[in-house]
Every structure is written in structure tokens, then in C-alpha cells.
Amino acid sequence: MGKKLLLKIKESVWIIPSIYCVISFFIAILIVYVDSSLHEYVHKYLPDFLMTSVDLAQTTLGTIAGALLTMTTITFSTIMVVLTTYTSQFSPRTLKDFLTDASTMRVLGVFLGGFIYSIVSLLFMRNTTIDHEVISATVGVLVAFVCIAFFAYFIHNVATSIQVNNLINKLAVDTLQTIKDDRKVLKNCTMDEVDKQPQIPTEYSQKQEMTGEQFGYIQLIDYQGLYELAKEKNYLIEVNQYIGHYITSESKLLTIYHHGKNVKFKINDYLTIGDDRTSLQDVEFNLIKMVEIALRAISPGINDPNTAIDCIRFLRVPLLEALSGRGRFSVYYDNEKKLRLIKRKESPEQLLYTTFYQLSHYGREDISILLAILDTLIHIAKNSSDNIKHEIKTFAIYVIRKFEKERLEELDRKQLKHKQTELETFVGPIVLSP
């Protein structure tokens, strides 16, 4: 339930600004109450220069409200420019990374909150009801200073966000965080990684397959909830789909192994299906976003191979982390060593293929792309276990054969042979069949 709420908050543009607006509204009501009912008490503790007449307060608050509305409009316009840059230069999949970024939403929230405070305070600034000096204008000036500081921060954030290396680094960090969260998805249980389909205990006499109720991408799976359900009802639950896969109402999502009792629960309570993929649990999607930036960079319209090379280099750390200790299945046992949950995972081969197959195809005429991919494979092989090294060797043969070697000059062939030899020191001889 917490993950679903976090996903809604993360994907909703309006939630954070709305919170700021509500807080500002109540602050405005509080200050108006202080001005109207507690003015004698306030006069004892605040110096006179912080107090203003109602007429001056009206003028000040009106000016601030107009200025903040203008700043909000400029901010929205700047956001649209950045979104256009993300779409044309980077990848449409990275739009949400900027649009739903907490710092961007906070800036909008501060501006809208400042406007709400000013306009609500202005509504109650009347000579007929308040015949003494007030502090609403002073608080409004402080709010304006805060908004100016956030505006300066927003300009700095925009300037750094559209720098491609900063974006790539952020995506790499987000991918690492997703991997770490995935490994800590279940608590109070024993987990193991296996490469083959686990043997189903003979004590479960019946099984029931559950399909989806809608079509779309699997955005979230509540593994903790499924584990608790299996433990409570004495089930064994096998999750048949991966995070990020597209499903229909006919797709098999869960297989419930039980003792003949009726299995009744709403599958939508444990799986979240949406129109697009999200990065909250989807490691593969995070890698794809980095790959798409590289693909856009090597396209003929942009022709920026150095950016593509940077993307491939930044892929090293998250890809190594994603591959390390990775089996085809994650199995979870309760405290009594009873198997409760089986979770399918992408194989190392699938992760490598998803990451590099498009780069190998669209960059097959550029030796720099091939060398960058081999450098990444060398780094992963150097720090991986033997079973991963075998997958890397197989995939390295695939990548090298994809490239058009007849177009390479003698020096290019020499560099390629050097990288191949370096990779062979970790994975063994690489034989390229004709």
C-alpha cells in the first residue's frame, strides 16, 4: 500500500504544489487572526518598523501577488522549454524525471503558496474591520524573499538538469537505488537466488492461475503483501510476470499453490497496472532510459557519439550491480523454512541484451561505440562471478559480430583486437565463427 501511495505521489504533478497552497492558506488565516484579535499582544514584542497600516499592507500584498503570479508564469514557461529539450535531445521517457522531480514541484508550490498567502491576506485587509497596524505585509515581504531564493535555485536546477552528463549520472544513481530497494523488498524472511524453476512441494495438492483484470504495464508488485498472504493462508505463490512487462486480461500473473481451499482475493490489491512503465521497481526501465539517451546521441540528426560513450560508461556501475548475484528466480522462505513466494527475474543474458542490442545495431558503423561497449563488458567481467563471465563472453561475441568490421581501418582493427584480448583475460578465449 505504501508503494502505491508513493507511486501516486511521484507521478502526480499537483500533489506537492497543492500541499504548499493549503499550508499557505492556513498561514494567511493565522496571520489575519493575529492582526484582528491579537494585535495588542503582538505590539508588545514586535518593533514598530515591522508594523504597517492597512493601506500600505494592501498595496504591498497586491504588488507581491502580481509579482508572484508573473514568476509562476515564467517558471511554467521554463519548464515547458526544458521538457521540449528533454524530448528532442534526450528521450521522451526522461520527461517525468524532471517534471515530477521534488525540487521542481517545490518551486511551483512555493510560488503558488506565496500567491495564495498574498491574495487571501489582501481579502481581509479592510479599514472597516481593522483600524490598527498589522503584520500581514511584513510576513508577505518575507514570503517574497523566500520565493526569490527558490526562483534562483530553480534557475540553477534548470541549468544543471539540461546538462546531459548530470542527467545520465542522476539516472545511474536512481537505478542503483532501485536495485537496492528491490533487494530489500521483503523483511523477516530467508531469500535465495536460483537459476532453475524451484521444485513445488508435494504437500500442495491444488494450484490456481490468476489473470489480470486490465491491460497495461506492470508498475508495482507488492511482494511483501503476497508473502504475508501466503504465510497467513498457507499458500505458495509464484509471480509469473516481471515488473515492466506488458500484460492483457489473458496474461497469467500469479500461480497459487494451495491445499484445496478456495482462493479468494483481489489481485489488484497486490499488482498495480498502468499505461506506462515506472522506475520505482523497474530496473530494466531505468537502464533503457540511459540507453535511449545514447541512441538519440548517435542518431544522424544529432551525431554526438561522445555523449553515447558517456552513457555506456555510466552504465557500468548499475549494470554490474544488477547482474551480481542474479539468478532466474528469487525464492523466499518463512521462519519454518517453508517456501512461500517465487519471484521471476530477468536473466543476466536478458539484461545484457536489453541494454546493448539497440546500441550494437544503430552504432554498428562506429568503432568508438564498439570499444565503449567492450570497455563496459571488461569492467563487468573483471568484477563478476564465473557464471556471469560466461554470459558476458557469449554476449561479447554477439556484439563484435554485429559490427561491420569490413569498414574498419587497420588502426581500428588493432584497437578492437586489444580490447578483445583484454576481455579474454577474464572470460576466456573468444572465438568468432565466420
Q: Do residues 312 and 293 lie in contact, with contact meaning Cβ atoms separated by under 8 Å?
A: no
Q: 192-213 pLDDT, tens per residue?
A: 888 888 888 888 888 888 887 7
Read off the pLDDT of residues 242-280 as tens digits, 9 standing for 90 and up: 888 899 888 889 988 888 777 777 888 888 888 888 888
CA distance 230 to 228: 5
Predicted local confidence at residue 428, as pLDDT: 86
pLDDT bin (cut points 50, 70, 90) of residue 336 is: confident
- Name the grid cell of 47: 518593533
- The label of the residue with cell 522506475 reads 279
**Who has greater pLDDT, 389 or 2?**
389
Cα 351 from Cα 328, distance rounded (Å): 11
Q: How many CB atoms lie within 10 A of CB 232?
A: 8
Contact present, 348 and 326 (Cβ < 8 Å): yes
- Distance between CA atoms of 203 and 200, rounded to whole angstroms? 9
Distances 155 to 82, 85, 267 between C-alpha atoms, Å: 11, 15, 44
pLDDT above 60: residue 1: no
Q: Tens digits of per-residue pLDDT, 292-306? A: 999 998 988 888 899
Beta sheet of 339-344, edge-to-edge order: 190-194, 329-333, 339-344, 236-239, 252-258, 206-211
SS3 of 206, please? strand
Q: What percent of the chain has pLDDT over 70?
A: 96
Looking at residues 72-80, what average pLDDT do you find?
84
Any idea which of 96-105, 270-279, 309-318, 373-382 has the lowest mean pLDDT? 96-105
Rounded to a whole number, what is the distance in angstroms from the first to the last CA of the chain?
54
Distance between CA atoms of residues 45 and 48, nearest Å: 9
pTM: 0.80
Residue 146's contacts (CB-CB under 8 Å, 6 or more residues apart) are: 110, 114
Hey, CA dihedral for 138, 142, 143, 144, is it positive or negative? positive
pLDDT-derived band at 12 (thresholds 50, 70, 90) equals low
What average pLDDT does the chain have? 85
Closest to 177 in 3D by CA, of 49, 321, 349, 7: 321
Please give the share of the chain, as a percent, with pLDDT higher than 90. 20
- Contact present, 381 and 392 (Cβ < 8 Å): yes
Phi-psi region of 396 (alpha: psi -120 to 50; beta: other; left: phi over 0): alpha
pLDDT of residue 324: 80
DSSP string, 315-372: THHHHHHHHTT--SEEEEE-TT--EEEEEE---HHHHHHHHHHHHHHHTTT-HHHHHH
Q: What pLDDT is recorded for position 433?
A: 63
| Distance separating alpha carbons of residues 147 and 141, to the nearest angstrom | 10
Question: For the chain, what's the residue count?
Answer: 434
CA distance 81 to 87: 10
Q: Is 346 exposed, middle or buried (0-12, 13-18, 19+ CB in 10 A)?
A: buried
* Residue 275 neighbours by CB under 8 Å, 6+ apart: 216, 217
Q: Could you report the per-residue pLDDT of 342-388, keeping only the tens digit for each?
A: 888 888 888 899 999 999 888 888 899 999 999 999 999 998 887 78
| Local confidence band at 24 (pLDDT 50, 70, 90 cut-offs) | very high
pLDDT at 325: 65
Q: What is the pLDDT of residues 383-395, one digit of tens each?
A: 888 778 888 988 9
Least confident of 26-40, 87-101, 196-210: 87-101
**pLDDT recorded at residue 377:** 93
Gyration radius (Cα) of the chain, Å:
29
